[in-house]
């Protein structure tokens, strides 16, 4: 695999853990900042050969809450990479864990995209989620971000949360539009085992999500945002023209990427590998100047083929059969004739010109499509 390289950096620290969160993140572990970042910089140094001679097209600093840690730590990490002004550099930020002067500092170190973990603009829903911010703080932080000179901004929203109403969610979409945020990621709630929300639902303290309401909220996302020229380009992602997230598109198009930090994943030389999710093991391994990789899988041709199809179907542009032929020297329509006929017949796939893509119904039942090509 050739071309530009993408970088992901995982910062696992948070002010507090949200009720629904199952990401590898920690609250109350500020004392681990210094040893973690020391190890992170060591890890990046161990990948000097992989980084050498490769142009970096995007860097994504995720978490956790990267904006929660001191800006100096972020600077030291970015200083490890050589990238030009054209590189898309994103950092995730949570309202209440960032201030105006931080945005100025981020811009000075080359960050040009901010991704806000908003989740909702309804105070009652934010309380149910266990978020530390409120509506006013979120709006204020977004306005500060814009005032500091950022125009490439994303806002994450969650829909289908227990006790969240259609009115709550529609109001959040309206605030997004009124603030003229150019990129929105809308995620359907998934209750993950072991989270506080999972325990609350099992104990009857919170109701199970309403699946019909969840789908109605998803439909509203597509229609409401489209009216503001924020168009869907992937199952969960919407953007004004020119503001699509290059980093994530790279994932869906199977660009090579290197992940640094605990739980980080990589795709390099058609091998997928992942780091340990144990912060103490991560630090101990890097203290010995060894890579903290715990799982590595050299992909077979069938796995590469399957990944390509499934990831392209995530995109609204779909799978281009001419590109597929160039990539694999296979005729997509002949190879998967029966599957394609069936999926089109039941309304989950459609074809336009040279591309097959998920229908609106297909987006609701995407996994049913994906499993056909696994």
Domains in the chain (CATH in brackets) are 5-251 (3.20.20.70), 317-373 (no CATH)
Write out the two tokens for 160: 């289908």
The string of DSSP codes covering 69-138 is S-HHHHHHHHTTS---TTSEEEEEE-TTS--HHHHHHHHHTT--EEEEEEE-S-HHHHHHHT-S--HHHH
pTM for this one?
A: 0.94
pLDDT of residue 2: 62
Measure Cα distances from 266 to 10, 263, 287, 365 in Å: 12, 10, 21, 28
Is residue 324 within 8 Å of 336, Cβ to Cβ?
no
The predicted-structure confidence for 322-365, as pLDDT tens digits, reads as follows 999 999 999 999 999 999 999 999 999 999 989 999 999 999 99
Q: Which ranges in the chain belong to alpha helices (H)?
A: 33-46, 48-51, 71-78, 100-108, 123-129, 135-147, 166-178, 196-202, 211-227, 246-252, 279-287, 301-314, 321-328, 332-335, 337-345, 360-364, 366-370
Cα–Cα nearest to 91, from 42, 181, 154, 17: 154
Across the chain, which distance is largest between two alpha carbons, in Å? 58
What is the spatial distance between Cα 184 and Cα 338, in angstroms, rounded to a whole number?
36
The predicted-structure confidence for 218-244, as pLDDT tens digits, reads as follows 999 999 999 999 999 999 999 999 999
pLDDT confidence tier of residue 217, bands split at 50, 70 and 90: very high
Measured between alpha carbons, how far apart are the two ends of the chain, in Å?
21
Question: What angle, rounded to 10 degrees, do the helices at 33-46 and 71-78 form?
Answer: 10
pLDDT of residue 114: 98
The predicted-structure confidence for 148-187, as pLDDT tens digits, reads as follows 999 999 999 999 888 899 999 999 999 999 999 999 999 9
pLDDT of residue 309: 97
Residue for token digits 């390509």?
308
3-state secondary structure of 191: coil
- Which helix (H) or strand (E) segment holds residue 26: the answer is strand 26-27
pLDDT of residue 128: 86
């Amino acid at each position: 695999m050739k071309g530009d390289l993408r970088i992901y950096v995982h910062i696992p620290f948070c002010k507090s853990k949200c009720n629904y969160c199952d990401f590898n993140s920690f609250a109350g572990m500020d004392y681990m900042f210094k040893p973690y970042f020391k190890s992170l910089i060591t890890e990046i140094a161990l990948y000097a050969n992989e980084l050498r001679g490769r142009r970096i097209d995007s860097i994504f600093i995720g978490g956790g809450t990267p904006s929660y840690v001191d800006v100096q730590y972020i600077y030291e990490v970015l200083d490890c990479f050589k990238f030009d002004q054209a590189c898309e550099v994103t950092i995730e930020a949570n309202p209440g864990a960032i201030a105006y002067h931080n945005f100025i500092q981020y811009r000075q170190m080359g960050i040009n995209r901010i991704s806000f973990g908003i989740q909702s603009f309804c105070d009652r829903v934010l309380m149910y989620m266990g978020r530390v911010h409120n509506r006013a703080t979120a709006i204020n932080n977004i306005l500060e971000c814009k005032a500091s000179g950022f125009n490439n901004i994303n806002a994450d929203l969650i829909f289908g949360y227990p006790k969240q109403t259609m009115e709550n969610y529609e109001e959040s979409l309206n605030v997004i539009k009124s603030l003229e945020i150019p990129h929105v990621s809308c995620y359907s709630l998934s209750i993950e085992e072991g989270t506080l929300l999972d325990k609350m639902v099992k104990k009857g303290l919170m109701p199970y999500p309403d699946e019909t309401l969840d789908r109605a909220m998803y439909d509203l996302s597509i229609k409401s945002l489209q009216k503001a020229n924020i168009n869907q380009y992937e199952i969960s992602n919407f953007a004004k023209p020119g503001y699509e997230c290059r980093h994530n598109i790279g994932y869906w198009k199977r660009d090579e990427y290197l992940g640094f930090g605990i739980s980080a994943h990589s795709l390099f030389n058609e091998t997928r590998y992942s780091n340990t999710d144990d912060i103490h093991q991560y630090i101990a391994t890097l203290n010995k100047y060894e890579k903290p990789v715990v799982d590595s899988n050299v992909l077979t041709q069938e796995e590469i083929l399957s990944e390509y199809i499934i990831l392209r179907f995530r995109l609204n542009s779909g799978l281009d059969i001419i590109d597929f032929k160039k990539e694999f020297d296979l005729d997509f329509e002949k190879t998967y004739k029966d599957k394609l006929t069936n999926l089109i017949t039941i309304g989950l796939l459609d074809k336009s010109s040279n591309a097959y893509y998920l229908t609106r119904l297909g987006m609701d039942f995407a996994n049913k499509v994906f499993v056909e090509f696994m």
